[in-house]
Amino acid sequence: MSRRMNAAMYHGVGDVRYEQTDVPEIGPGEILVKVGNALTCGTDVKTYKRGHPILLRHTPALFGHEYAGTVEIVGEGVDRFNAGDRVVATNSAPCGTCFFCKRGSFNLCPELKESFVNGAFAEYVRVPKHVVKWNTHRIPDSLPFREAALTEPLACVVHGIEEANIQLGETVAIIGAGPIGQMMIMLAKKSGASIVIVSDLAELRRDMAARAGADVVINPAKEDAVERVRAETGGYGADVVIEAVGLPATWEQAVDMTRDAGMTVLFGGAASGTTFE
Ligand SMILES: [Zn+2]
Ligand SMILES: [Zn+2]
């Protein structure tokens, strides 16, 4: 008889149940990780509220994809990891060998969608072979699981910041100071931005933004964020604007805040079917 574990199972929109299920079986190249910490991602919240066409194709399904923990079992052919290793892994990985992977377009790898990890909100999570091969990392004892589990969202932010191509001395405006926005602030500063301007409705997030390194913090309920950014930049607009909310209104704001020939990064994902002008 297979072993049982506790897990938060996704049964449908607005319906997640904490219940018993089988511990996942692992195949060649895979590992089973005993979850130390799992985080709730914005994508999990969206999936809970409106479902997700790619991540969860059938229900009930295991749920959750940001995690760190300890290797419990290694599958046949895995030589980089041993039982007992503390690791963090991401939620997907490309194959590394197909037409698109060879051209560096890893996001178009057809196997990417087949390698999605879901099931971090459980005692054990199965890590598929591509993720074991490319996106699983041993972590030092000094790094707590809850911090290591931020690797996946941080990796997304690193990618967004690379796309933003911030030059030394530039002004960067960031709309939205949630966890992603906070990481954007820190990395924008590290990338050489002289002035980072942040806009968020929540006071707690504005305070955290200031502590994370924001030079100018805007409350968009009290003043026009676009006008303030223009005022802070001699009327030109920011060199780089990063939208980290995911609403059409803030997408449009982001474009309006950007100087001519500047860079707008629409990082926040809006609901499917959203249009903007
Ligand atoms: Zn995530
Ligand atoms: Zn591939």
DSSP assignment of 40-100 equals --HHHHHHHHH--TTT-SSSSEE---EEEEEEEEE-TT--S--TT-EEEE-S----SSSHH
- What is the pLDDT, as a whole number, of residue 270? 74
Calculate how far, in angstroms, residue 129's C-alpha sits from the geometric centre of ligand 2. Answer: 13
Residue that finishes a domain, picked among 149, 173, 203: 149
DSSP 268: S
Calculate how far, in angstroms, residue 161's C-alpha sits from the geometric centre of ligand 1. Answer: 17
C-beta atoms surrounding 156 within 10 Å? 16
pLDDT-derived band at 60 (thresholds 50, 70, 90) equals very high
Question: Around ion ligand 2, which residues have CB less than 5 A away?
Answer: 94-95, 98, 101, 109
Calculate how far, in angstroms, residue 108's C-alpha sits from the geometric centre of ligand 2. Answer: 7
DSSP 156: H
d(CA 23, CA 118): 13
Q: Is residue 271 part of a domain?
A: no
CATH number at residue 190: 3.40.50.720
Calculate how far, in angstroms, residue 43's C-alpha sits from the geometric centre of ligand 2. Answer: 23
Residue that finishes a domain, picked among 149, 175, 200: 149
Calculate how far, in angstroms, residue 99's C-alpha sits from the geometric centre of ligand 1. Answer: 27
222-268, pLDDT tens digit by residue? 999 999 999 999 999 999 999 999 999 999 999 999 999 999 999 98
- What is the pLDDT, as a whole number, of residue 70? 98
State the ligand closest to the CA atom of 101: 2
Is the pLDDT at 204 greater than 90? The verdict is yes
- What is the pLDDT, as a whole number, of residue 1? 57
102-131, pLDDT tens digit by residue? 999 998 999 988 888 989 999 999 999 999
Q: Contact at 8 Å (CB) between 197 and 254? A: no
Is the pLDDT at 274 greater than 70? The verdict is yes
Residue that finishes a domain, picked among 98, 128, 149: 149
Q: Encoding tokens for residue 266?
A: 């629409």
Q: Which residues contact 16 (CB under 8 A, 6 or more apart)?
A: 8, 9, 10, 48, 63
Q: Which residues contact 123 (CB under 8 A, 6 or more apart)?
A: 5, 6, 7, 23, 34, 35
Calculate how far, in angstroms, residue 245's C-alpha sits from the geometric centre of ligand 1. Answer: 14
- What is the pLDDT, as a whole number, of residue 193? 98
- What is the pLDDT, as a whole number, of residue 178? 94
Pair (15, 134) in one structural domain = yes
Pair (240, 165) in one structural domain = yes
Helix, strand, coil percent content, the chain, rounded in steps of 5:
30, 30, 40
Torsion angle of C-alpha atoms 207, 38, 6, 34, degrees rounded to 10 = -150
In terms of residue numbers, what domain contains 17?
4-149
Q: What is the mean pLDDT of residues 54-77?
A: 91
Quote the number of domains for the chain.
2
Q: Is residue 272 part of a domain?
A: no
Preceding amide of 60 cis, omega within 30: yes
pLDDT above 90 covers a percentage of the chain that reads: 86
pLDDT above 70 covers a percentage of the chain that reads: 99
State the ligand closest to the CA atom of 39: 1
Pair (162, 187) in one structural domain = yes
Calculate how far, in angstroms, residue 84's C-alpha sits from the geometric centre of ligand 1. Answer: 25
Calculate how far, in angstroms, residue 91's C-alpha sits from the geometric centre of ligand 1. Answer: 8
- What is the pLDDT, as a whole number, of residue 166? 97
Calculate how far, in angstroms, residue 92's C-alpha sits from the geometric centre of ligand 1. Answer: 10
Question: Which amino acid is present at 238?
Answer: A
Calculate how far, in angstroms, residue 64's C-alpha sits from the geometric centre of ligand 1. Answer: 8
Calculate how far, in angstroms, residue 109's C-alpha sits from the geometric centre of ligand 2. Answer: 4
Calculate how far, in angstroms, residue 8's C-alpha sits from the geometric centre of ligand 1. Answer: 16
Calculate how far, in angstroms, residue 276's C-alpha sits from the geometric centre of ligand 1. Answer: 25
Residue that wins the pLDDT comparison between 52 and 220: 220
Q: Encoding tokens for residue 226?
A: 């676009």
| Cβ-based burial of 133 (10 A; exposed 0-12, middle 13-18, buried ≥19) | middle
Question: Which amino acid is present at 22?
Answer: D
State the ligand closest to the CA atom of 65: 1
* Average pLDDT over the chain, rounded to an integer: 94
Is the pLDDT at 56 greater than 80? The verdict is no
Q: Contact at 8 Å (CB) between 208 and 177? A: yes
137-153, pLDDT tens digit by residue? 999 999 999 999 999 99
Pair (174, 220) in one structural domain = yes
Residue that wins the pLDDT comparison between 129 and 2: 129
Calculate how far, in angstroms, residue 101's C-alpha sits from the geometric centre of ligand 2. Answer: 4
Is the pLDDT at 27 greater than 70? The verdict is yes
